[in-house]
Chains A and B, each alone.
With several copies, the nearest count.
Chain A
Amino acid sequence: MARVIVDVMLKNEILDPQGKAVEGALARLGLAGVTSVRQGKSFSLELEGDIDESRLAQIHELAGSLLSNPVIEDYVIREDVR
């Protein structure tokens, strides 16, 4: 059993209205000194068996096509083996 987490974030140059909205709300609720908020998505995949090179490559491939859209988003893969 393995777990892989794929974090997807909007590229920096793409406007993030959700992050902006949260930033405003945090300030209104009294959290001082917030200079920026970005909102992203994360996918937590539970997989049977181990993650070998080829499987990781496959996950990278899917993270860059299905889970994120490279035109607007970047992704990072965190392996989280328990």
Chain B
Amino acid sequence: MSRHTDTVANAETTPELEQPYSELGLKTDEYFRIREILGRRPTSAELAMYSVMWSEHCSYKSSKVHLRQFGDKKPETEALLVGIGENAGVVDIGEGWAVTFKVESHNHPSYIEPYQGAATGIGGIVRDILSMGARPVAVMDPLRFGAADHPDTRRVLPGIVAGISGYGNCLGLPNIGGEIVFDASYQGNPLVNALCVGTMRHEDIHLASAKGVGNLVILYGAKTGGDGIGGVSVLASETFAEGGPTKRPAVQVGDPFMEKLLIECTLEVLRAGLVEGIQDLGGAGISCATSELASNGEGGMHVRLDQVPLRDASLTPEEILMSESQERMCAIVTPEKVDAFLAICRKWDVTADVIGEVTATGRLVIEWHGEIIVDVPPRTVAHDGPVYERPFARPSWQDSLQADGPERLARPSTAAEIRDTVLTLVGSPNLASKTWVTSQYDRYVLGNTVLAQPEDAGVIRVDEKTGLGVALATDCNGRFAKLDPYNGAKLALAEAYRNVATAGAAPLAVTNCLNFGSPEDPDVMWQFSEAVRGLADGCLELGTPVTGGNVSFYNQTGSTPINPTPVVGVLGVIQDVARRTPMAFRASDDVVLVLGESRDEFAGGEWAHVIHGHLGGLPPVVDLGRERSLGELLVAASVGSLITAAHDVSDAGIVQTLVEMALRAGVGALVRIPEGVDPFVFLLSESTARAVVTVPTSTLGAFESLAGDHGVPVTRIGIVGAAGDDLIVESVYGASATWTLTELRTTADATLPALFA
């Protein structure tokens, strides 16, 4: 034997052995807590498990105390079938259908190996959805990159997009939306967030718990290799090897075909009633799956680790426990159903092995070739990790940032200047057409995509017979969050909520991915705590519970953190997808209306960012009461078939909204600035709770009175198609601003290909 195995017996007889806990990322007091829990020193395998499960990524040790607010401030709702704490939350959408959805980050791996990092990000979130018992039906990808013209953005963006496309397309999941935002603060820290949504009947919901003493633990899917060891914890387990360090790759490589087999195989074993509990393997691999299953179930489990099928025979038991090899799942199966389970795995050519059984001992015991290498209370690994109250304080620079508002910036003051400003904005990377990216994603597969990017929300048909469907949108403006993290999080929520309502769906529930810098920086921790407080308060006010999410810390280069980026995903329900509201102008002579009020609000907006490179001041005022009224109006108008198109107003204001509606349709409009309003403010401000809708003259009266009922201000501003192929805005400082659709399209379409093709 080139190396010995550190057994429990060995640990008992060598209490004083020095252990590399700090190399594994454990603090001294954490290490001593482990010794206290066990009443002895941990074995090397136990140390591996605790270190990885008590890492920030798995234990949420810095964020837990804050995330509790999502539960404490949870709105009254009947819709939540499974809440925070499971792999993903589940909501009731009616007619016996349930939907599960969640967003997760894969930021750091995507920086190191863009293609594989992003691909395995999709793979991981899809398995979370699958493990709830749902069929994954769509994905979305909120992305953030450094400056568009920075060489490193050119390195990472094409790879990340190809990875999402390569993995998602091969799984057969339509990509229905996401975000692509450029900002220098993400230089060296691109954000790759991935959202998946799945559907199931209520009775198909499954949970990650190892119930039933004597039931067997089956590991199935890909074989275990050296992937991602050190990906979760800080260090590879090389420190364990006595015969010199082995170098294990931190990069996980995805096999989407294997994942496709895993999806079909898992759904077949679930639907055949062969599974008592199920868990995906993601971060922390077998350590996480076995400890969580045991902790959530009977409390005991006996695992024979040498039964795990390996891709690399040289892996040590510690490495097997920590490996993050992709495309693996773990199921709890009663003994009499094991054969049927294995038969379905064979049908799909999926490797499956019994690796252990559920026990009543209250201990997770792991055996390696006949010797006990782990004997721990599973709860202490999975759920009772350290909890930190990290210090936080409002940054010293926050006041001066907020004091430096955009009021001092030079504004366009003629129609010609407005015309040029708008063209510059339309072609700027954050507003330009994202088709170069999204045309790499399959949006048609499964045949249920009713709306996909660039629409406000992705809409998926859930039930072909009744037309029941769901709508999803994700949003976050990190600049707003930097100016004011509390309201920045609310603004992200408000925008996603508005996007869902704009499509005609009633917002129901929320997921989130909180991307921040280092929690050890009190400034960052303050941003984080404020953002969580804002999101929790906002969800309570809107009546949309947080069902789950993810936290990604340490997104920073040196001591410079990214803009705080709390990405918020909102899910809505639409009873009949046939009545969804698309964004394109539909028919000439429809009346163009603005809903909501426009105020002089430019801080953190696209105009200040693109034209002046300025960030300062206070973000637009968020009024969730108004958002709610607007949302209810948009849904009611859809139900009543009163409107022909709707598009939410956000980045670069009403003029950008009009440009997008016109380009989507290939039809222009003639618009006039209302009396008594500053044209620049009217066209480019980013005030919230607004949308542009088009209404046929036949329903105009009905729509306006409905808006009155909801207390939403309505302004008639123009007529679709009245300017032929042009978009014309009249009364801009005494003149007209005219854009041809051709010039708008050319400008919007050229930017991304020029940078990345």
A interface residues with partner B (beta carbon < 8 Å): 10-11, 13-17, 20-21, 24, 69, 71-72
Contacts and interface: CB of A to CB of B under 8 A. Distances in A.
What range describes how many residues of B lie at the interface? 20 to 34
A71 B258 contact: no
Interface of B: 112-113, 116, 222, 225-227, 248-249, 251-255, 257-258, 311-312, 325-326, 349
B257 A71 contact: no
A13 B225 contact: yes
Contact of B112 (A13, A21, A71): A71
Contacts of B252: 15
Contacts of A24: 349
B255 A20 contact: yes
Contact of B251 (A14, A16, A17, A20): A14
Nearest to A65: B155
18 contacts: A10-B253, A11-B249, A13-B225, A13-B248, A14-B253, A15-B222, A15-B253, A15-B255, A15-B325, A16-B253, A17-B255, A17-B257, A17-B258, A20-B255, A71-B112, A71-B249, A72-B251, A72-B253
B728 to A, nearest CB: 42
A1 to B, nearest CB: 15
Contact of A15 (B112, B113, B225, B248): B225
Contacts of A11: 249
**Which of B226, B249, B257 lies at the interface centre, i.e. has the most chain A CB atoms within 10 A of its CB?**
B249
Contacts of A20: 255
Contact of A13 (B254, B258, B312, B349): B312
Contact of B113 (A16, A17, A72): A72
B168 to A, nearest CB: 16
Given A13-B312, A15-B222, A15-B253, 6 more contacts: A10-B253, A15-B255, A17-B257, A71-B249, A72-B251, A72-B253
Contacts of B312: 13
Contacts of B311: 15
B227 A71 contact: no
A72 B222 CA distance: 19
A71 B111 CA distance: 12
Given A69-B113, A72-B113, A17 B225 contact: no
A11 B248 CA distance: 10
B326 to A, nearest CB: 8
A71 B226 contact: no
Contact of A17 (B226, B248, B253): B253
Contacts of A71: 112-113, 249, 251
Contacts of B226: 13
Contacts of A21: 257
**Which of A10, A11, A24, A69 lies at the interface centre, i.e. has the most chain B CB atoms within 10 A of its CB?**
A69
Contacts of B112: 71
Nearest to A72: B251
Contacts of A69: 113
A14 B120 CA distance: 14
Contacts of A13: 225-226, 248-249, 312
A42 to B, nearest CB: 18
A15 B227 contact: yes
Given A11-B249, A13-B249, A13-B312, A72 B116 contact: yes
Contacts of B251: 14, 71-72
